[in-house]
Amino acid sequence: MLASVPRVPAGLRLPRPPIGPDPLRRRPVPRDLATVTSVGEEDEPRAGGMDRDGVERIWRGVEGLYRSGVHPAIQLCLRREGRVVLDRAIGHARPNVPVTTGTPFLIYSASKAVTAMVAHLLDQRGDIHFGDRVAEYIPEYGSHGKHRITVGHILSHRAGVPNLPPGALDLDLIDDSDTILRLLCDARPSSRPGKLLSYHAISGGYVIAELVRRVTGRSIREVLAQEILAPLGFRWTNYGVAPQDVAAVGRAEVTGAPVLPPLSTLLTRALGKPVDQITRESNDPRFVTGIIPSANIVSTANEMSRFYELLRNGGELDGVRIFEPRTIRRATTEQSWLELDLALGFPTRYSLGFMLGARALSLWGPDTEQAFGHLGFTNVLTWADPQRALAGGLITSGKPVLYPELPDLWTLMRRIGIEAPKVERRAALSAVAPSSSSAAGGR
């Protein structure tokens, strides 16, 4: 006997009403999208070299992605030539709680880029050097052949220690730095440092955090807050939130088709846990308040766009200089050129902390060779494209891996590139663009 179709509340619709349980685990979508749309403070598009129709075409792409039903909330913020040309949100942050442009969300692996810039700040000051071996700062880390691993190997995912034991991801260990350090030191390399590219989903961030603590005497959360966020007036964009702010954080939702082998095996090996389990556990207050340097920065699309505007602008924002231009060049210098990532299973370009764009196959859309940013679990994108004078943040609360509208995400990024074409700003490009001639550790 056929299962009955669930009743949909008035004013809501399911994108593809199923018979029986929805295999894609979609969420109901309002008929009138204006009722769940929030608009932040936007500048006149012409101030950023764009036009209103182009901005609205981009937003229609977001609305199409939202109509898929697998993203209960979406935020998009775009800065062009330093002006906020689009800052909007659509959907619900939690059941019955509309999302706003100020709602903070976990950005998951997009945290890695922020963590990398903390390390680059220390390198800029001469406190560390990316050619140095990690064991020079953390002597006990040199066990089992890891004494050859450099700081640069960690940041470029070439250290050969991509995974930690499953127990390392236990929520009860988040604040147990001694146990985490022991697990880092006990880990055995799977390949010679520098030889292979293999995405370090969790392990690399913890190594950088411990290195920061050894060098500064402060936690990486404190260094980020005091040296980068506070001078620029950021409200969020740090590792986790204070206990009193947990209720303000948008909820991650399990959506999309269940992931089956062999893809589920690949993702579990790369991420450390099954996708659905990660999604549910990331809503736990321990996850949202702890320090997981590779995975639990809490931010908004607006703040991530602003962070990348800092980088696109050569390390200075609103009259406050945080990074030197050469630091940005070093951070975005290519370390892997469309090399097969053995953990993720596809070829990509990496720098010392960022995923780089490409002419054809790129997270940031086609013809984005100078773009740099980072992907976050699963459809979070944070990036800068110096050639387009663009800095963006796209945050989605649904965590699907597979769904029919996935190409719509690619189409959205392509649309952004079309509506924000390349600009002729040679000086700006020379300040921040990756250069094949600059050495990663050069001074």
Check residue 65 and give left, alpha or beta (phi > 0: left; psi -120 to 50: alpha). alpha
Q: What is the 3-state secondary structure (H, E, C) of 312-339?
A: HCCCEECCEECCCHHHHHHHCCCCEEEE
Q: What is the pLDDT of residues 315-347, one digit of tens each?
A: 999 999 999 999 999 999 999 988 988 888 888
Q: 40-49, 84-93, 272-281, 419-428: lowest mean pLDDT where?
A: 419-428
Entry pTM: 0.90
What are the DSSP calls for 211-269, one per residue?
A: HHHHHHSS-HHHHHIIIIIHHHT-SS-EES--GGGGGGSPPPB--SSPP-TTHHHHHHH
**Mean pLDDT value of segment 130-140:** 97
The pLDDT of residue 432: 52
Tokens of 218: 């402060």
pLDDT at 271 over 90: no
Number of Cβ within a 10 Å radius of residue 262: 8
The pLDDT of residue 410: 94
**Mean pLDDT value of segment 255-268:** 88
Length of the chain, in residues? 443
Q: What is the pLDDT of residues 142-176, one digit of tens each?
A: 999 999 999 999 999 999 999 887 778 889 999 89
**Mean pLDDT value of segment 16-36:** 80
Q: What is the pLDDT of residues 54-79, one digit of tens each?
A: 999 999 999 999 999 999 999 999 99
- What rounded mean pLDDT belongs to the chain? 90
- Strand 336-340 with 347-350, pairing: antiparallel
Please give the Cα distance from 401 to 257 (Å, whole number): 7
Contact by Cβ (8 Å): 156, 336: yes
State which amino acid sits at residue 343.
A
Q: What percent of the chain shows pLDDT beyond 90?
A: 81
Number of Cβ within a 10 Å radius of residue 238: 22
Pick the closest to residue 393 from 88, 51, 48 (CA basis). 88
The confidence band for 424, taking pLDDT boundaries of 50, 70 and 90, is low
**Mean pLDDT value of segment 204-225:** 98
Strand ranges, E, within 341-379? 347-350, 355-356, 372-376
Domain boundaries in the chain? Answer: 12-115+222-432
Check residue 384 and give left, alpha or beta (phi > 0: left; psi -120 to 50: alpha). beta
**Mean pLDDT value of segment 434-439:** 39
The pLDDT of residue 33: 97
Q: 96-110, 264-278, 327-341: lowest mean pLDDT where?
A: 264-278
The pLDDT of residue 21: 60
The pLDDT of residue 165: 75
Sheet of 105-106, strands arranged across:
105-106, 297-299, 238-239
Please give the Cα distance from 284 to 271 (Å, whole number): 18
Please give the Cα distance from 136 to 150 (Å, whole number): 9
Number of Cβ within a 10 Å radius of residue 41: 8
Q: Find the helix or strand (DSSP H, E) in which 407 lies.
A: helix 406-419
Question: In terms of CATH, what superfamily is 12-115+222-432?
Answer: DD-peptidase/beta-lactamase superfamily (3.40.710.10)
The confidence band for 285, taking pLDDT boundaries of 50, 70 and 90, is very high
**Mean pLDDT value of segment 404-425:** 92
Contact by Cβ (8 Å): 239, 221: yes
pLDDT at 443 over 80: no
Would you give the distance in Å from CA 301 to the centre of its chain?
11
pLDDT at 98 over 90: yes
